[in-house]
Amino acid sequence: MNEEMISVSVELAGRPYKVNVRESERQIFESSSEMVNEMIKGYEAKYAYKDKQDLLAMVLLQYVTALIRQNRKQNEDNKIVTERLETILQNLDKII
């Protein structure tokens, strides 16, 4: 299923950007840009900054840090599930 790409304009830190996205992902990009802009506003209120790029860098760092934490947690969870499944298989092998 080849979904049509559409051009969407989003604003980040006061600048418009055009991105080509699948129509089904349009809302994701719009919501993402809203979240980034809200975080920028929060940083603007808390910290002194020279330009918006400083704020964008802080937002990027926060999101990437959260992504890495989430990936590590998921990997740990996957390891636990794998270990439990292996134990179940070993027990089943003993029964059979």
- Using one digit for the tens of pLDDT, what is the confidence trace for 2-61? 789 999 999 999 999 999 999 999 999 999 999 999 999 999 999 888 888 999 999 999
Residue 57 belongs to what domain range?
5-95
> What is the helix, strand, coil percentage profile of the chain, to 5?
70, 15, 10
What is the value of pTM for the model shown?
Answer: 0.72
Which tens digit of pLDDT belongs to each residue from 48-87? Answer: 888 889 999 999 999 999 999 999 999 999 999 999 999 9
Tally of domains within the chain: 1
Element housing 69 (H / E): helix 52-95
Element housing 91 (H / E): helix 52-95
